[in-house]
Structure 1
Amino acid sequence: MSGADGGATFLRLLLLVVGAVALALVAPFLQALLSAGLVAYLVAPVNRRLATRLGPTVGTTVTILATVVVAVVPLALVVGVAAEQALAVARTASLPDAAAVQAGLRPWLAPMPELDGFTGPLVDALRMGFRGLLGGVLGVLGGIPGFLVGTVVFLFALFYLLRDGERLLGWLRRAAPLDPATADRLVERTDALLWAAVVGNVAVAGVQAVLTAVGFVALGIENVVFWGLATFLLSLLPIIGASIVWLPAVGYLLLVGRVPAAAVLLVYGSVVVSGSDNLVRPLVMQRGTDLNAAVLVLGIFGGVSLFGFVGLFVGPVILGLAKSLVDVLAGIPDERHGHR
């Protein structure tokens, strides 16, 4: 083996060792880094305009501050209100219609045996549940320092991705042993996948959440902020969608004797809320790409199990990119453009 070959082999082994250590260093902050990458992707167009006028550093700083003011603060307020309303929903016994609900359920509960014999086990179960809840609260409080560290990592990563993202992309192009056409194809495919997984799904879920909240307000259903946020989160998941929120609401209206309102909500939910997917998704997907349903399901649930909430968006992108890499290696033409 020549000296040059030996040196190259040593560098490869050194890269493996250093790369493994680098991954171990980054792993605890993977969610913060992935979140920063997604946010940077979304606000990059605004940042480019500001950087042109104000300079890279000042423009990026203004972009981050504007993102916090426009997006993070309102989102935190909505989540806070939704949390309060969630507690109100949990206290069903104090709701005005609780007696009507109990009256509607009584014919179904009448055939059930008395539960007095289960009082002891029920109390024990409630006590254990309370202990678990207390342990969860303490766990959340104990995780605050880690949350603060993750927030710092997120902000720094977001800043440098916005300011130096183009340089990073250029470095990746030069470092990757790919011809320019193949590199361009992978970059374009990644952009389309990100648009579909992030912008497309969020837009559809947002529209369905707003429509659900509007319908609930019109019918006098309380705690609409909580139900709207629940609809948004559930609409991000394939198959489940917004119907898991408005269908039980239809049943609730039937139980309290509001049959006309239940019929209106059934029609409104089926046609307007759930039907909005067929109108909104094609509009937002004009720039992106349609994700196969199986890829979307596996990507979302697998992504959540690996990366937490951010996996809702990262998982489908990773699976879609894996398919694109197979297409490139196998010489399969791009379905959208028909080139190799």
Structure 2
Amino acid sequence: MEINIKKYLTPQILIIIFLLLISLMFIFPVLNMIILGAILAYGIRPLAFKIQSKLKYSSVSILLAMVLVLIPLILLVGYITFEVSSFTASFLASNSYVDLQDATTRLINYLPIGSNSGSFDSYIHSAFEHGLSYLLNYSAKFFSKFLNITLDLFILICSIFYFVRDGDKCLDFIRDFVPDDSKDFFDGTMEEVKDVLRSIFYGHFLTSVIIGIFGCIGYSILGYPYGIFLGIITGILQLIPIFGPWPIYWALFFIDVVSGNYPRAIIVLLFGFFLSTIDMYIRPALSSHYAEIHPLILLIGFLSGPLVYGIVGFIVGPLILGVTYAVLDSYRKEYLIGDK
């Protein structure tokens, strides 16, 4: 069966394809922010509509919902950055007695006899100079990217706002291009996609938030330094299949055993088992009404997403793979299984 290409590639279609390709070239550098904005908008929409039922002003309701959701995320990132920097500073301060010259002399003593200590000392200083130069160059490049980071954040905020406000219009616009005999498939696919997004939001993100809160409270009560920070890391690890909270509480257990704090070691181990156990009850309770996503899909998304889109990929990766799975599953049900 021959396909008449001229029938489909009309001048109008060629112009549309050309314009779409040109447009894609323009938006590709910020495509990750647009996708992330659409995803976050889906999570913010229910809160915005609930606020709108009280205020009656659409734009104000959306802005308030964005503030209520984004401000905690910004504070969380700021807190993690502050804790990491303060830990690094305290570590360097506690080891400030280490003298470079003394360390060099000690190292020379382990070298074979005949080594030139003067040349070795100059080599060490030269290496440190190169390292310092690298750090300065890296800092300069980082600050040069500040404008790009600001632009990304601006596009992200604008994308969230307009997707929350006009998301339905966007879907209706796309639906108008779908042939009449495929509109049912399109509608079913959109429902599958929404189901997958709800499953990931409620079954995984919300579960990790709950586990993280429990971790912050538990580690702080047990008297660990940086207890809140450890709880946040526990919540982040909870997002990743296979990992969960166990790397944190097992590490704390071994640290307490080595330091001789056996009672706290036993308590933190029991607390860790508690965190792992409640996950088995919280996750099904939150996501039982939605689509079940295979853990391998989420694992690949969480681990490969940052390789493609940086830290944003940690969120975008699993969601894109989940949506792709939903579309393929909808096609399978509509055209493959349905025909049997």
TM-score tier after normalising by the smaller chain length: 0.7 to 0.9
Matched, 1:257 2:260: yes
Equivalence for 2:62: 63
Shift of 1:211: 1.7
Cα distance change, pair 158–117 in 1 and its aligned pair in 2 (3 A): same
Matched, 1:201 2:204: yes
Give 1:237's match in structure 2, choosing from 213, 236, 240: 240
Please list the CA deviations of residues 29-74 of structure 1 after superposition, one character each: whole Å capped at 9, or x if unmatched.
Answer: 112212211221011123234446655xx42333223422x23333
Shift of 1:159: 2.0
Q: Is the 8 A contact 2:196 2:326 kept in 1?
A: no
Cα distance in 2 for partners of 1:298, 1:248 equals 25
Give 2:163's match in structure 1, choosing from 161, 164, 169: 161
Question: TM-score of the superposition, structure 1-length normalised?
Answer: 0.79
Amino acid across the alignment from 1:65:
L
Please list the CA deviations of residues 169-204 of structure 1 after superposition, one character each: whole Å capped at 9, or x if unmatched.
Answer: 111222123533212210111011111223322112
Matched, 1:289 2:288: no
Cα distance change, pair 117–191 in 1 and its aligned pair in 2 (3 A): farther
Equivalence for 2:29: 28
Cα distance change, pair 287–313 in 1 and its aligned pair in 2 (3 A): farther
Shift of 1:281: 0.6
Equivalence for 2:314: 312
Identical positions, percent: 22
Equivalence for 2:116: none
Cα distance change, pair 330–264 in 1 and its aligned pair in 2 (3 A): closer
Amino acid across the alignment from 1:33:
I
Please list the CA deviations of residues 126-156 of structure 1 after superposition, one character each: whole Å capped at 9, or x if unmatched.
Answer: 6666555444433332221112111221222
Shift of 1:297: 1.5
Equivalence for 1:13: 14
Flag structure 2 segments of 5+ consecutive residues without an equivalent.
1-5, 95-105, 112-119
Cα distance in 1 for partners of 2:186, 2:83 equals 49
Cα distance in 2 for partners of 1:243, 1:334 equals 42
Cα distance in 2 for partners of 1:265, 1:22 equals 54
Shift of 1:260: 0.8
SS in 2 for 1:238: coil
Which piece of structure 1 moves more, 279-288 or 85-94?
85-94
Give 1:82's match in structure 2, choosing from 62, 75, 80: 80
Cα distance in 2 for partners of 1:267, 1:278 equals 16
Q: Is the 8 A contact 2:302 2:318 kept in 1?
A: yes
Q: Please tell me the root mean square deviation across aligned C-alpha atoms, in Å.
A: 3.2
Equivalence for 1:223: 226
Q: Is the 8 A contact 2:208 2:238 kept in 1?
A: yes
Cα distance change, pair 122–192 in 1 and its aligned pair in 2 (3 A): farther
Amino acid across the alignment from 1:151:
L
Which piece of structure 1 moves more, 73-82 or 297-306?
73-82
Amino acid across the alignment from 1:186:
T
Alignment of 1:43-58 (within 5 A): 43-51=44-52, 58=57
Cα distance in 2 for partners of 1:144, 1:18 equals 31
Q: Is the 8 A contact 1:197 1:317 kept in 2?
A: yes
Which piece of structure 1 moves more, 321-330 or 120-129?
120-129
Q: Is the 8 A contact 1:36 1:154 kept in 2?
A: yes
Shift of 1:278: 0.5
Flag structure 1 segments of 5+ consecutive residues without an equivalent.
96-113
Shift of 1:328: 4.1
Shift of 1:262: 0.4
Shift of 1:122: 8.0
SS in 2 for 1:274: helix
Q: Is the 8 A contact 2:207 2:282 kept in 1?
A: yes
SS in 2 for 1:222: coil
Cα distance in 1 for partners of 2:270, 2:8 equals 71
SS in 2 for 1:176: coil
Q: Is the 8 A contact 1:30 1:307 kept in 2?
A: no
